[in-house]
A and B are shown apart, each in its own frame.
Chain A
Amino acid sequence: MNADDLQKKVEEQILDSYEAMYRLAYTYVKNEEDALDIVQESVYKAIKYSGRVRQEAYIRTWLWRIVMNTAVDFIRKNSKEVATEEMQETGREDTYQDFDTLEALNILDEREKAVVVLRFFEDQKLEDIARILNENTNTVKTVLYRSLKKLKVRLAEGEMLYEG
C-alpha cells in the first residue's frame, strides 16, 4: 500500500474512533482541555507518520498506542504543575474515594490504566493490547490481574480475559 492510501486509511480510522481516542486521553488527564490537546497532537502524529504503518490491520492498535504515549508524555511534561494543583485541592480528594467510579483508576499506573480501559471499556483483544503496549500477551494478562486486584474487582478467570 502506498503512502497516500495509507494516509487515507489512517484518516478514516481516526474519524471513526476519535471519540474513543478522546475518552482514553481523558481517563489519563481527567480534564477536557488537556484531553483535547492530546487528541489533536495524536491525530497530527498519526497522519504525519502514516507512512510508518506496516499493515492496514494494525492502524487501530497503532492509534491507541499513539494516544497512550502522547498522554503519558503529556503527564510527564506537566507533572510538576499537576502536583501543585492537587496540593491546592486536598480538601476535595475524599469525595473521589468511591471505588465504583472512574476515579478509582487513579490507583493504577499508566500501563495498568491502559490495559483496563482497552480491555474492559473498549473491548480490545488481549493480543491487540499486547501490540499496543509492545509487550507479549502473558505480560498483559499479568498486568490485568494485578490491576483488577488493586481495583478490588473479582471476576472468574474466563470472563475476565476472554469475554467480549
Chain B
Amino acid sequence: MKDEKLKKMEQEYKEIPIPEELLRRVEEGIQKGKEDREEVVRMKKRSKVISFVKAAGGAVVAAMLAITIMANSGASIANAMMKIPVIGAIAEVVTFREYKNTTEDSNMSADVKIPEVSVTNEDGTVNQETTEQINKTIEDYTNEIIAQYEADVAAYGGEAHERVELDYEIITDSDRLFSIRFNQLTIMASGAESVRIYHIDKQTGKMINLKGLFKEDADFITPISDNIKKQMKEQMAADESKMYFLDSDMPETDFQSISEDTTFYVNDDGKLVIVFDEYEVAPGYMGTVEFVIPTEVIEGIVQDGFVS
C-alpha cells in the first residue's frame, strides 16, 4: 500500500494530458535524428573492409589482455638501478592449453588458447610469486571468456551465431620488459566484451594500474587526456571515416578524461598506448581504439624504465 498522498500524486501524474501533437513531434525528432545520423552511416560504408565485416557479422570485438612484467627483480635496489640496463629475469611461455568447442549445428564455436608463463630470476630460480600471479590472471581472464561462451550456448542453443577466438603473442621481450598480448575476437549478435589489460610490476610483485607507471602525486590524467583529445580532433579532420565522441551537444556521453584504471600497454617502440573499449569513446564501427602517447607528453612524470 502506497501512502495516500503519494497515491494521489501518482494518479495526477498518470492523468497528465497527452497532447495530440506529441506523436507527430516524436516522429519529427526521430526523423531529424536520423538525418543527422546519416553521416555516420555513410562514413561506415566508405571505411575499410573490416567495417563491412563488422556490419555483416554483428559486433566484432577485438579485446586484448597484455600482461607486462618489469624484467628486473629486487625492489630494494630498483631505484638505484633504474637507469642502468640490466639483463634480469627471464619470462617465457612454457606451454599452453586449448579450449575448443563447437555446437552440433556449428553455429557457435570457441577456440581459446591459454598459455602458461614461467618467470625465472636472474640466478636461475623460479620466481614463484610472479609466476603464480601472472598465470592466475590469465586463467581468470580466459575462464571468464569460456564461461560467457558456455552461458551463451546454454541460453541460446542453436538460435544464436557466435564465434569466440582467443590467441596470444609476445609483443615485447626487451631487457626490462616482457609483454604478452591476448587478442580476443568475438562475433555475435549483440553485446560487447571489455578490453582487459592487466599489469604486474615485477619489482614489487604486485599488480599495477596506469597510475603505477607514474611518479607519486604526479598529474598524468590531464596531459594524457588532453593529448588524446588533440589526436581525436586531428584524426577526425584528416580522415572523415573516423569518428570519436567529442564536443557533441550531449557532453555527458563524450570522452572527458582517462582515469587511473584506464587500459594501457607499452608498445614495441617503448611508447605508452592507451586503449579504449568498443563504444567507450567512439561508435561501434570504430571497434577498439588505441592512442599512442608521445613520450614527451609524460616526460618528467613517468617513472624511469617504463617508456622510451
A residues near B (Cβ < 8 Å) are 1-7, 11, 14-15, 18-19, 22-23, 26-27, 32, 36, 39-56, 65-66, 69, 99-102, 104-105, 117, 120-121, 134, 151-155, 159, 163
Contact = CB atoms under 8 A, between A and B. Distances in A.
Interface of B: 1-6, 8-10, 12-14, 16-19, 21-23, 25-26, 28-30, 32-34, 36-37, 40-41, 44, 54-55, 58-59, 189-192, 245, 248-250, 252-253, 279, 283-285
Contact of A43 (B13, B16, B29): B29
B12 A101 contact: yes
Contacts of B6: 120, 151, 153, 155
B54 A102 contact: no
27 contacts: A1-B189, A3-B40, A4-B41, A7-B37, A11-B30, A14-B26, A18-B22, A26-B16, A40-B26, A40-B28, A40-B29, A43-B33, A44-B33, A45-B33, A48-B32, A48-B37, A49-B248, A52-B245, A54-B192, A55-B192, A66-B250, A69-B250, A99-B5, A121-B9, A121-B10, A121-B13, A153-B5
A117 B59 contact: no
Contacts of A5: 190
Nearest to B26: A18
A51 to B, nearest CB: 4
Given A2-B284, A3-B40, A32-B19, A163 B13 contact: no
Contacts, number: 150
6 closest Cβ pairs, A-B complex:
A47-B33, A43-B29, A51-B283, A44-B29, A40-B29, A48-B33
Contacts of B29: 39-44, 47
Report whether over half of chain A's contact residues are helix, strand or loop; otherwise say mixed: helix
Given A3-B284, A117-B13, A54 B25 contact: no
Given A52-B279, A102-B12, A120 B2 contact: yes
A19 B54 contact: no
Contacts of A26: 16
Given A51-B283, A100-B8, A7 B34 contact: yes
Contacts of A19: 18, 22
A135 to B, nearest CB: 13
A54 B284 CA distance: 9
Contacts of A42: 29
Contacts of A120: 2, 6, 9-10
Contacts of A4: 41, 55
A3 B283 contact: yes
Contacts of A41: 29
Contacts of A153: 3, 5-6
Contacts of B9: 100-102, 104-105, 120-121
B41 A54 contact: no
Contacts of B26: 14-15, 18, 39-40, 43
Contacts of A7: 34, 37
Contact of A51 (B12, B22, B192, B284): B284
Given A15-B26, A23-B13, A134-B252, 18 more contacts: A2-B285, A3-B37, A3-B283, A14-B30, A23-B14, A36-B19, A40-B29, A41-B29, A47-B33, A50-B33, A51-B283, A52-B283, A53-B279, A54-B279, A100-B5, A121-B9, A151-B5, A154-B3
Contact of A1 (B28, B37, B284): B284
Given A40-B29, A117-B13, A49 B284 contact: no
Given A44-B33, A102-B13, A39 B22 contact: yes
B151 to A, nearest CB: 15
Contacts of B5: 99-100, 104, 151-153
A151 B298 CA distance: 52
B41 A3 contact: yes
Contacts of A151: 5-6
A65 B32 CA distance: 20
A102 to B, nearest CB: 5
Contacts of B3: 153-155
Given A39-B26, A153-B3, A56 B190 contact: yes
B238 to A, nearest CB: 21
A120 B12 CA distance: 12
A23 B13 CA distance: 7
A43 B41 contact: no
